[in-house]
Homo-oligomer: A and B are copies of this chain.
Amino acid sequence: MSEFNINALDDVIHGRIRLGVMAYLVGAETADFSALKTHLGTTDGNLSVHLRKLEEAGYVTIEKSFRGRKPLTAVSLTPSGREAFTQYLGALSGLIGKS
């Protein structure tokens, strides 16, 4: 009845905040923690939790540094994150065109 298979959807990516992070990074490659937080309208704590999950999956890397005294946290998409996102979009594409 449907070509769409929910089991093909990567759970790590499907979560809303994580999906937002991945979608942003696919365009930006690297983003500062604060920029992501603003873009997604979320909190430090919530964003940290989701970034850690993406990092554990190997989809992003997180690098902390300082610009002067100001801490900077750079979040970057990895090649395997990009690949996983492409597969996620492929799984979703069965949905598009429906309705």
Q: Which residue numbers of A lie inside 8 Å of B, CB to CB?
A: 1-2, 4, 6-7, 9, 11, 14, 16-17, 19-20, 23-24, 26-28, 31, 39-41, 82, 85-86, 89, 92-96, 98-99
Contact = CB atoms under 8 A, between A and B. Distances in A.
A36 to B, nearest CB: 10
A26 B86 contact: no
Question: Which 4 residue pairs spanning A and B have beta carbons closest together?
Answer: A6-B20, A86-B99, A4-B23, A1-B27
A11 B17 CA distance: 11
Nearest to A5: B20
A89 B97 CA distance: 8
A39 to B, nearest CB: 8
